[in-house]
Amino acid sequence: MKAKSGIGVFSSPFSQALIGKSSRFGVESVEKMVSWVMENTPPSSDPFVLEVGSGNGTLILALLEKNYLAQNLAGIDYSADAVKLSKLVAAAKEADVVTFSACDFLYEDPPHLPHMDPTKTDVWDLLLDKGTYDAIALGNKDEQGHSPAIHYPSRAARLIRPGGFFLITSCNFTEEELKVNFISEATGFKHHSRIQHPTFTFGGKSGSVCCSVAFQKAN
Ligand SMILES: C[S@@+](CC[C@H](N)C(=O)[O-])C[C@H]1O[C@@H](n2cnc3c(N)ncnc32)[C@H](O)[C@@H]1O
């Protein structure tokens, strides 16, 4: 049987509607995350903000438009191509001073920004994740059958200053699963708040396509 071309697969009205919905969701979730950030770590506090798995840089650059200090914003991604693209997008917005670096979050520490204490690891006021924990969880399991994502919560916690925040948006995990995975004595994370996303009802049950949860590290 002849394989369908990529264009054919995505050109049906149903697929187009789904693509439209998901790209609209991408925009809405960025807006909602930005609103949360502005409420909880306002631009006037000059927070150090790091996005883990920053892709093309959309989320971190959206903060720039809300008057966050460009020198304090950073994104890391283990894809060199993603980093290159985010730098190009930043340059087009005359925001070259935002730092985008190639870094595998599970094995490397993100580079310190100027003005950060180089002797400390827990230097970030806020860590953001939109879809990266989901992507990491899809990685190959180790010989013991563990997902690479088991390392993520402690890697995140060690980078955040006491009292700092971790805001994650996931489409693969429920809010309850995120709480179970991230809240522990080892991470020092406590549940802080959540972002409400549009809900749908199917078979008498209602749910949300994605969830966003904020955790705060103990002081
Ligand atoms: C689903 S994409 C989300 C990108 C971006 N946050 C967004 O919302 O558009 C996940 C991103 O995480 C990156 N990523 C996956 N595993 C990573 C790792 N171990 N360290 C750093 N980045 C990683 C991928 O390269 C990809 O850009």
The string of pLDDT tens digits covering residues 126-172 is 999 999 999 999 999 999 999 999 999 999 999 999 999 999 999 99
* Domain of residue 210, CATH code: 3.40.50.150
User: What does the block give as tokens for 168?
Assistant: 């994650």
Check residue 32 and give its pLDDT.
97
pTM of this prediction exceeds 0.75:
yes
Please indicate, yes or no, if residue 3 is contained in any of the structural domains. Answer: no
Query: For residue 202, how far is its CA from the centre of ligand 1 (angstroms)?
Result: 30
Average pLDDT over residues 17-46: 84
Q: At what angle do helices 175-182 and 152-159 cross, to 10 degrees?
A: 70
Range of the domain at 116: 24-217
Query: Which numbered atom of ligand 1 lies nearest the CA of 129?
Result: 6
Query: Which numbered atom of ligand 1 lies nearest the CA of 134?
Result: 1
Please indicate, yes or no, if residue 7 is contained in any of the structural domains. Answer: no
Please indicate, yes or no, if residue 193 is contained in any of the structural domains. Answer: yes
Residue 60: pLDDT above 60?
yes
Query: Which numbered atom of ligand 1 lies nearest the CA of 139?
Result: 16
CA distance 51 to 132: 9
Please indicate, yes or no, if residue 10 is contained in any of the structural domains. Answer: no
Task: Show the ligand 1 pocket: residues with CB < 6 angstroms.
Answer: 53-55, 58-59, 76-79, 82, 104-106, 130-132, 135-136
Q: What backbone torsions phi and psi does residue 166 show, to the nearest 5 degrees?
A: -130, 120
Please indicate, yes or no, if residue 9 is contained in any of the structural domains. Answer: no
205-208 and 199-202 strand pairing: antiparallel
What percentage of the chain has pLDDT greater than the value 70?
89
Please indicate, yes or no, if residue 36 is contained in any of the structural domains. Answer: yes
Domain count, the chain: 1
Please indicate, yes or no, if residue 177 is contained in any of the structural domains. Answer: yes
Check residue 97 and give its pLDDT.
97
Bridge partners of residue 200, in order along the sequence:
207
Please indicate, yes or no, if residue 56 is contained in any of the structural domains. Answer: yes
Q: What backbone torsions phi and psi does residue 203 show, to the nearest 5 degrees?
A: 60, 35
